[in-house]
Structures are given as structure tokens and as C-alpha cells.
A and B are shown apart, each in its own frame.
Chain A
């Protein structure tokens, strides 16, 4: 057989099969970014065009504590990744649990903020354009945090039951990419909602 007896040609293979999870996640992140882009564009386009109050400047307060928690969770998940790459499942579980806790604090903080906005300031999704765009954009992000927390929790349960081992490190890394994306998008949403379009 002519072809098989040839010496293997110097193949350009920058992305071997083991990386297909990473590549797939990058594709998902690109698609998700496009969804967020449209919501951000709508938010900016309608900024200041509401026919009735309240205005963002009156009711929005920068959620510093929440944001710091969410950004910190990116750090804890990196520590968890490092632990599992080295096969240390116990530190992995601890860092992973911390990540879940920080994400949960963020989502509870958002819930408190929304409660305050709805019942004290009278801002609802149907009250004005600001309400529609605000709850849609922040809600889109919050729903991504909830999806992320669900995934994190499933992996946590598997870890607690002793199923997660060193060989699963690449998959953990792929999932962590999604969590980093959720954090990175918050930088954009935070900037747009609480600083740019006040």
C-alpha cells in the first residue's frame, strides 16, 4: 500500500483531538457573546429614552460586594483546576465549593437588588423601557450564572461521591471556561449598566 508505507509527513496539527472540548466551548462562547452583544446594544440604544421614571441614576447602586464575589470565584475555580490537574481531589472539592458559595452570594445579591427595585422603587420589566432593558440584560446574565451554578453543583455532587479523578481534569477545565465567560461578561454588563448608561 503506497500511502501507508510512506513516512508520516510533518503534519500541522495545532489542535489535537483531546482539545475538542476546548474548541467546542470556544464556539459556544462566541455564540453566547453574540447574544449578549444584541442585548447590550439594545440597552445602550434605549438608554435615556424611557417615557417615565425612575431613571437609572435614581435607583441603581453599583453592586461592589456582589461583583467582587463573582470575580473572586474566577480565582477559586482556577485554584480548583490546578488541584485536579495534580490529582488532589480534596483541595479541588474545597475550592470548588468556595466557587459555588461565591456564585450563590452573587445571585442572592441580585435577588435582593431586584426585590428592592420592584417593591421600593416601583421599577418592573413592564414599567418603562429602562425596566425592560435592565431586567432583560441583567436577567440574561443572572440566568447564565444560574446555569453555571447548576453545572458546578452537579460536579460538586460527583466530587462528594468520589467520581471525579485526575483524568477528568480536561473536562473540568472546559467547564471552567464557561464560568470564566460568565464572569467576564459581568465586566461588560457592570460597566454598561452601572457606569456608562446612567
Chain B
């Protein structure tokens, strides 16, 4: 590596002196008014971590309530608010902002740009997303309007009609849900518009679409998806506001409206949303696995093609959330077929990651451990997904804990594991400090054990008939032991996350200096200082292959000779 560093020396930029000397007020002012993509990326990530803790507390409250039958930890009303807020928070105010944060930080660095295409729009989008989260959580104080104690929304994260109609949802709790998501939706559109434009217009010389890191490609696909799927949710929520405030009848069955139409509109957003979240997770895996296998990614172009295919097919699978509602047999057959079809490109990706690992010199650092965990768990999540995609199977297990276990396997076992991998992989670049490897391994193993205790065993009460969203249950149905194990698993996950947060905070202040390129990696973000200076690159880089840093470090055997 020392050889590589000497090759890189001329491009390095020295960091300006640390800003710790400035008064606190000035530093806060700088963060609030910043339009720098790296600072906004960190704002997104920190904001999401705060909500991760809040959403985690809500999950813990639910698991304490369900640990034993006939528990009285919280009332049914509070339980309804907890699952509504947990779902809404985790999807809209944790997963989306944290993924936008990483995209914001690393897309410009990886394509050799000095900033995003629209820096001010970037800041606007972040603050809109932040406002959305604040509006949603203000509902705890102001949810029921002026009549005393407040209340949070309790209609479930998909807010089915007629629960949201004025007759069944008094006060303003549902309005906070609608407006909070509407506002954050504007932020999502703004930031994805920005990411797409950045990828298309801001690449450095030589960075053709075919040489772009997969990270940039996958975030481009994700951005395109957000543009076409978040807007339908916005449209449906405008309709809901028309119903609630102007006396409209969109989802009012008594006036001829349709509750099922809301389901369609919600899931036209809701299912592609899963792919909006998992595609950036794929992006992390596609960057980290090659570096820790010491091999270039296997099947680059097939990976791109598979991602684009997933994006397209994901737009035509939404009604598999509605098999139990009752559709025509043609409708059922179409959505069974399309849902199963999406497993083909997804399988291709898994095989490509395995192909990358195959014959590589695998380095088991913390980011790689999380990637390996991702591969196993995402596969199982996909398999239960195929089971639920079969309509007759879904008629039995729809709306049961089996479904809850399935989608948590995707979101926690897949997306969150990939996110942890990304945190450990890029923490040295973002902070300039190395994290503690031992603590990282503790986090991995504790979280892995906790994850499997919770979500493996959650499938079983589902198969035994336990419906989702019940606030308690009778003893003697054979559900008790499984629920207890599920709740115990939570404990391991909490300890794991606490170690993770401690590791980040401690390493930020006390960690060893990381240097520019601690992993001996190949993409452009590792060619600049850690953390990168405001202008990213002193001179705009010129690239000739998919691994520009490899070319720099190995002038005798550069990639561009073979590509």
C-alpha cells in the first residue's frame, strides 16, 4: 500500500485546519446554511439515526407488550399509534433519508464532481424532509387539535380507507400523517431529481456510463423510481385531504367512492418503495464486496441490466399486497407472475456477488461481515417473498405475522445490514478516523444473533395464525414461547446498536487517523483526503476504466488495457 500512496501523493490535498476553534454559534450557522453535498449528506444521516432510535423505541414498546399474553404495558390505543409511527418513521424518516444521505455524499465523489448539480435545491430538499419528520412527531403534542391531550396517528402506515375518513379519525392525528409525508415527499422528489441530474450531467472526463461505479448507476435507477412512485402517494394524499377537508368522496364508499382504490394507489407507491430502499443497499454491497474480495465486480454490465429490470418490473407488482382483498383470477395471475418474475434479476445479482467472492482473497473486516450477513438473509427474505407471491399461499398467511417476519427480513436483514456495512466502510472517509474493529465485530455478532432470534422465530406464530397488529393475545394458542423469543431477540439488537453508536462517537473523537485510502480501494472517493475538502478534488480527475484508483496504483498493469 505504501507504493500506492507514493503514486497518489501528488493529487492529495491537505486539509484546512480543523474548525473546532470557531465559536459554537458560527459552526451551527454553517451547518444550517450549508449547500455542500457532504455536509448535507451527514445531516441526512444524523437525522436518520435520530429517528432510527425513536423508531426502535417504538418497536421495543410493541415487543414488551407482546412478550407475554394479556400484557398491560400499553393500551390498545397506544399500541395502534406505536405500529403506525414505527412503520411510518422507519420507512420515511430513517431508510429514505439515510440512503439519500449516502447518495448525496458519495455520488459526486465517485463520479469526480465537485458538488451536486443543484446545491441549493439539495439543501431545500433536506430541510423539507426534516420538516416532514417534525410535523409527523408534533402529532404527539397536537394530534387531536385543541381538545386537551394530543394523539399520534393510529391508522397504520398504509392508512387504509375508511379508517382515515373524518367519521373514524376524529381530530387531526391523521392530518399530521398526511401532511408530514406530503412535505417529506417534496423533499424526496427534489433530492432524487438532483441525484439523477448529477449522475447524468456532472461526470468527470472519461467517466462514461459504462465506467461509472455501480453505486452511481444504482442510485440513478433508484432516483428514477422515486420520481415515478413517490408522486402517486402525493396524489393519493391530496385526494385524502380533499375528502377530509372539502367533503370529497374519493374514498367514501357511502357516496360511491372506493376503499379499494386507495389500496391500489397506496401500493402503487408502496411496493416500488421497497425497491427504492433495497437498490441503494445493493449499491453498497456492490462497492464493498469487490474491495474485500480483492477482485473487480463480477458481471458489471449484467448487474446494471438486472437493476434496471428490477426497476421496471417493480412498477407492475403492487397488487400482490391485495390478494386477500379479492381480485379477478386474471388479476391474481398477472400479479403472481410479475412478482415471481422479479426474483429472476434479483437472483442474477446474488449470483454476481457470489461470483465476485469466488476465488477472491476475502478479508473479513466488519463491513464485509455485514455484507455476508446480507447475502444469506436477503436470500431467505426473497424465498419467503416467493412463497407469499403465490396467491393461494397468501390467502392463508396474508396479514399474519409471517408477512411481518418476511418484510422485516428484507428491511432489517437486507437493507439495515447493508447500511451497517456502508457505515463501517465509509466512516473512515467521512470522519477521517478509523472505527474500532473489535467493537465492530461485537456489534455484528450481537446484532446477527438478535436479528435471527427475533425474525426467524417471528415466522412461526404467523404460520400458527397470529394476525399482525393485535395488541395482545390469549394464552394457550401456542404463540407464547415464540413471542417471548422474538422479544428477547430485541434485547440483543438494542445492545448491538448501542455498541455501534458508541463506536461511531468514540472513534470520531479518539480514533486513529484513517488516511486517504484505508481499504486499498478503487473508486475516486478514496483518492482525496479524509474527510474530503469542500471542493472534493484539487484537479478534476480523468478516468479511463471502472477502477481509476487501480490504474493509478498499478501503472504497469492498468484496467483500461483490458476493458
Interface residues of A (CB under 8 A from B): 1-4, 6, 8-9, 11-13, 15-17, 19-20, 23-24, 27-28, 30-32, 34-39, 42, 45-46, 49-51, 125-126, 128-129, 132-133, 136, 140
What's the minimum C-beta distance from A40 to chain B, rounded to whole angstroms?
10
A17 to B118, CA, bound (A): 11
Q: Does B250 contact A (CB under 8 A)?
A: yes
Partner of A46, one of B257, B265, B555: B257
What's the minimum C-beta distance from B181 to chain A, rounded to whole angstroms?
14
What's the minimum C-beta distance from B269 to chain A, rounded to whole angstroms?
9
Cβ of B258 and Cβ of A45 under 8 Å apart? yes
Partner of A125, one of B194, B229, B234, B242: B242
Q: What DSSP secondary structure best describes chain B's contact surface? A: helix
Most chain-A Cβ atoms within 10 A of its Cβ — which of B234, B236, B257, B543?
Answer: B257
Cβ of A27 and Cβ of B227 under 8 Å apart? yes
A32 to B198, CA, bound (A): 20
Residues of B within 8 A of A36 (CB): 235
What's the minimum C-beta distance from A118 to chain B, rounded to whole angstroms?
13
Cβ of B201 and Cβ of A17 under 8 Å apart? yes
Stretch at the interface among B202-210, B400-408, B508-516: B202-210
Cβ of A37 and Cβ of B232 under 8 Å apart? yes
Nearest chain B residue, comparing its CB with the CB of A50? B256
A128 to B256, CA, bound (A): 9
Nearest chain A residue, comparing its CB with the CB of B11? A1
CB-based closest 3 A-B pairs: A126-B247, A38-B235, A34-B231
Cβ of A132 and Cβ of B248 under 8 Å apart? yes
Partner of A31, one of B209, B228, B249, B539: B228
A133 to B206, CA, bound (A): 51
Residues of B within 8 A of A31 (CB): 189, 193, 227-228, 230-231
Residues of B within 8 A of A3 (CB): 11, 541-544, 548, 551-552
A126 to B248, CA, bound (A): 5
Cβ of A51 and Cβ of B541 under 8 Å apart? no
Q: Mark B236-248, 1 if CB is under 8 A from A, else 0.
A: 1011001100111
Cβ of A132 and Cβ of B242 under 8 Å apart? yes
Nearest chain A residue, comparing its CB with the CB of B542? A3
Residues of A within 8 A of B201 (CB): 15-17, 19-20, 23
Partner of B551, one of A2, A4, A20, A27: A2
A23 to B201, CA, bound (A): 8
Residues of A within 8 A of B238 (CB): 35, 136, 140
Residues of B within 8 A of A50 (CB): 256
Cβ of B255 and Cβ of A51 under 8 Å apart? yes
Residues of A within 8 A of B236 (CB): 38
